[in-house]
Amino acid sequence: MNAKASPAEIFSRFLPLTSLLLIIIVWQFAATGGYFGKSLPSPVAVVNQFVDMLAEPVGKTILGGHIWASMRRVLTAFAVAVLIGIPMGLLMGWNKKAEAIIKPIFEIFRPIPPIAWIPLAILWFGIEETPKVFICFIGAFIPAVMNAYTGIRFTDPLLLDAARSQGANLRQLFKEVAVPSALPAIFAGLQNGLSLCWMCVLAAEMVGAEEGVGYLILRGMDMSNPAMIITGMLIIGAVGALIAVGLRYVERWVCPWKREISM
Amino acid sequence: MEARNIDVKSEISCQHLYKSFPGMDGNVTEVLKDVNLSVAKNEFLVILGPGQCGKTTLLNIMAGLDSSDSGEILLNDVPVSGPNPNLGLVFQRMALMPWKTVMGNVSMGLKFRGVSKKEREEKARYFINLVGLSGFEKSYPYQLSGGMKQRVGIARAYCSDPEVLLMDEPFGALDAQTRYMMEEEILRIWEKAKRTVVFVTNNIEEAIYLGDRIVLLSRCPATVKAVYPIDLARPRQFTDSRFLEVRQKIADNTDLAL
Amino acid sequence: MTNNGRKIKIQVQNLTKRFGDLLVLNNISFNVYEGEFLCIVGPTGCGKTTFLNVLTKLHPATEGDIYIDGEPANPQKHNISFVFQEPSTMPWLTVEQNIRYGLEVKKVPEEEIKKRLNQVMELVGLKDFRNYYPRQLSASMDQRVVIARAFAINPDLLLMDEPYSQLDIKLRYYLEDEVIRIWREMKRTVIFVTHNIEEAVYLAERILILTPKPATIKKEIKVDLPRPRNFADPEFVNIRNQVTEMIKWW
């Protein structure tokens, strides 16, 4: 807005960068100082490891392949969770009977962390792809359902009245009022779901996998290669952040009106 | 009296309305008590009452959004039993759909009725123009000021082509100046597109400025305390001595809640 | 301008406020006299909120300053109290505690606190309600607590920001009379901001009219009518129309 920013403003804008830089510097000194022996690689070593893995396969595939393997699991699980979860949440929010039937189940299952399902998933589905996708599905499913549900339940009754007075029938009230007013909440649920999904895939991959970012981290431990572990961790962070940013853009595109509901 | 033909025949009327709500402490709060009123065709009737005296409840019942415990609403001698396209509503909190544009909001009633897109947009455009919002068809509510939002609300109520417009403190959320402007506007719109109007307010000056007749409600439970025909020529002046006289008369008859 | 020989209490000098390139207050200067009742009216969006925030030192002025008794206004030193439109009693305190709170903050000695509590509660008729909580009171009594609290600290300046704009007419009349009665008794300096021109003419000794943004003083009108004033008095109506014209037609 204003043309010239004061030195103080410039300084405050760079504060976040400063803290990052500081961490890297401390990290570098800690690593080269040898306080941790070989278990803490320097930032430079991690970058080298990253560049190596871009071309050189670890296990079956190169880094890109591992990321894609995890992504594939996450996206499959997420898609299924959205396709089942959102309609279910909408139904639960709109129909009192459906709410009465379905909600108690969720009250029981909601507090169980998705990772707690790993043993059962392995018993049921073996150790191939299915159990991993299943764990991710659990992670995304619950927020998808719950947010769609609360989104519908928190529809402003005034807006429903306004539409009723304009002659809307029940189906129109749902389609034209309740669903759009729940969209911001639904998107918040998708955000949560996707990041949970991404966390779950790592846990699932650590239990037994031949590819994926979780496998990379575990492999790094087996090979006593901390640089590989740290590279894996940083990739998790970066991909997670990219997913969140991407979804925010989708939301802005789907809901061009200002967000009036914030969960 | 102005040269307007108010039909003697009442268009909408309330007959012996009673309504109570269960309170928090198990007691029952009586909100409406034997409310009777009738509104003539094309009349601008103002219902004036103190804050929280059941005005909104009364209007919601008239609109068919809520039901009374006993008594009935007659619209052209037919009891109102639910929302009715012949009753258009304007809300204090505007109640615009944030995800719909001005065009979408104004034409929503026609959409619900299955009117084709071309036809409903044509009609909506007419009323958007009538309320002075041409050029804002594609704007979203958050991009509009309070006064403009309420113009959308008025256009939306008009667009479904109701016989009766029910307005629930439509200018209550606006600042003082926008309010004066909108009071002039609503009369201009009404002169151009005559409908029967039931306008609820707690502002005595607004009531006298707008109404052909004022129905004064009592404090809770609301019942009709007095009816004042206002035979001042329009446009009315807030400082006109007759205006002040009427205001004094009505103010003396209102309840002071200390 | 002399004002019945009263001395100047508040001096506002060349008050200017900019947000970046946006000029909101443009060189506003005026005086308020000791014990005066001054009303400020202005069109919507004239920067009234900014004006009050600068006046009370919540925000720094870009240029200019405010003096109380000849010294630069300082919220730590001078007593400035507020009455807003929204109910601002603290729900967890009783009527008496609500009024007492401000006095304790100002470190008024206990004896003096007791004296003033009795005085203001008598004045606003809250004596029998001293141990009530705000939720047990009606809207008008709640307002009276706020007024009592504001006057109790013997403010150098009492600022009232549209306190009655949401009330029914009868209650508004009642509270307007009430505030005039208390003001006459307590002899404090009051700045009352309102959009209601009739209210301004009813209350004020002097009315300042602001222009739209960037706000500056358009005109100052003296209201020299006997109290209690009569809304229908031709002189009253005349002043009211005069002010209305100036705000409405630019």
pLDDT, one tens digit per residue, over A51-66 is: 999 888 888 889 999 9
Residue B4 above 50 pLDDT?
A: no
C209 strand-pairing partners: C41, C219
Residue C233 maps to which CATH number?
3.40.50.300
Interface touch C170/B245, C-beta < 8 Å: no
> Mean pLDDT lowest for which of B98-102, B103-107, C209-213?
C209-213
For chain B, give every domain's residue range.
1-82+164-171+196-258, 87-161
Count how many Cα atoms sit within 13 Å of the Cα of residue B199 in the half-sphere of its side chain. Answer: 27
Across chain B, mean pLDDT equals 90
- Encode pLDDT of B132-181 as tens digits: 999 999 999 999 988 999 999 999 999 998 999 999 999 988 887 788 88
The residue with greater pLDDT, C38 or C169, is C38
C-alpha to C-alpha distance for C164 and A2, rounded to whole angstroms: 38
The radius of gyration of chain B from alpha carbons, rounded to an integer in Å, stands at: 18
Q: Is A162 an 8 Å CB contact of chain B? A: yes
What angle, rounded to 10 degrees, do the helices at C95-105 and C139-152 form?
A: 20
For A85-144, the DSSP string reads HHHHHHHHHH-HHHHHHHHHHHHHHTTS-GGGGHHHHHHHHTTSHHHHHHHHHHHHHHHH
Residue C93 above 50 pLDDT?
A: yes
A2-6, A158-162, C80-84, C144-148: which has the highest mean pLDDT?
A: A158-162
Chains with at least 3 CB pairs less than 8 angstroms from chain A: B, C
Nearest CA in chain B to A174: B112
CB-based contacts of B72: which residues, under 8 Å, 6+ apart?
B14, B15, B16, B17, B79, B80
- Residue in B96, B112, B123, B158 to test binding to A, most A beta-carbons within 10 Å: B112
- Encode pLDDT of A75-101 as tens digits: 999 999 999 999 999 999 999 999 999
What angle, rounded to 10 degrees, do the helices at A129-153 and A96-109 form?
A: 130
Nearest alpha-carbon partner for B249 in B230, B235, B224: B230
CB-based contacts of C169: which residues, under 8 Å, 6+ apart?
B203, B204, B205, B247, B251, B254
Tokens of C203: 């209350």
The radius of gyration of chain A from alpha carbons, rounded to an integer in Å, stands at: 23
**Are A193 and A81 contacting, i.e. CB atoms less than 8 angstroms apart?**
yes
Residues of C in contact with A1 (CB under 8 A): 20
* Global confidence as pTM: 0.82
> Mean pLDDT lowest for which of A35-44, B199-208, C151-160, C180-189?
A35-44
Residues 50-69 of B with CB under 8 A from A: 60, 63-65
Total number of domains constituting chain C? 1
Nearest CA-CA distance, residue A2 and chain C, Å = 6
C206 strand-pairing partners: C38, C222
> Mean pLDDT lowest for which of B101-115, B206-220, C85-99?
C85-99
Interface touch A165/B108, C-beta < 8 Å: no
C-alpha to C-alpha distance for C145 and C134, rounded to whole angstroms: 9
Q: Is B24 an 8 Å CB contact of chain C? A: no
| Range A201-221 average pLDDT | 88
Interface touch C171/B204, C-beta < 8 Å: no
What angle, rounded to 10 degrees, do the helices at A43-55 and A63-94 form?
A: 90
The radius of gyration of chain C from alpha carbons, rounded to an integer in Å, stands at: 18
pLDDT band (50, 70, 90) for residue A4? low
**Residue C168 is assigned to a structural domain of this protein:** no
Q: Is A65 an 8 Å CB contact of chain B? A: no
Q: What is the pLDDT of residue A262?
A: 36
pLDDT band (50, 70, 90) for residue C174? confident
Beta pairing class for C8-19 and C22-33: antiparallel
- Residue in B177, B216, B247 to test binding to C, most C beta-carbons within 10 Å: B177
Residue C122 above 90 pLDDT?
A: no
Nearest CA in chain C to A6: C20
Q: What is the pLDDT of residue B1?
A: 37
Across chain A, mean pLDDT equals 88
Domains of chain A: 47-254 (1.10.3720.10)
pLDDT band (50, 70, 90) for residue B8? low
Residue C57 above 60 pLDDT?
A: yes
Residues of C in contact with A2 (CB under 8 A): 20-21
Nearest CA-CA distance, residue C18 and chain A, Å = 11
Nearest CA-CA distance, residue A257 and chain C, Å = 25
- Encode pLDDT of C1-16 as tens digits: 455 678 899 999 999 9
Q: What is the pLDDT of residue C213?
A: 80
Across chain C, mean pLDDT equals 88
pLDDT above 70 covers a percentage of chain A that reads 96
> Mean pLDDT lowest for which of B80-84, C86-90, C98-102?
C86-90
- Encode pLDDT of A232-247 as tens digits: 999 988 998 888 888 8
Burial class (CB in 10 A: 0-12, 13-18, 19+), A42: middle
Q: Does this complex have an ipTM over 0.90?
A: no
Fold type of domain B1-82+164-171+196-258: Rossmann fold (3.40.50)
**Are C137 and C129 contacting, i.e. CB atoms less than 8 angstroms apart?**
yes
Nearest alpha-carbon partner for B35 in B178, B223, B220, B206: B223
**Residue C10 is assigned to a structural domain of this protein:** yes
What angle, rounded to 10 degrees, do the helices at A213-222 and A226-254 form?
A: 170
Residue C40's domain spans which residues?
1-78+199-250
Longest C-alpha distance within chain B, in Å? 56
SS3 per-residue string spanning B214-239: EEEECCCCECEEEEEECCCCCCCCCC
Residue C49 above 70 pLDDT?
A: yes
pLDDT band (50, 70, 90) for residue B224? very high
Tell me the CA end-to-end span of chain A in Å, nearest whole number. 30
Nearest CA-CA distance, residue B258 and chain C, Å = 6
Amino acid at A154: F
Q: What is the pLDDT of residue A1?
A: 42
- Encode pLDDT of B26-68 as tens digits: 788 889 999 999 999 999 999 998 877 788 999 999 999 999 9
Q: Closest partner residue to C240 among B51, B239, B254, by Cβ? A: B239
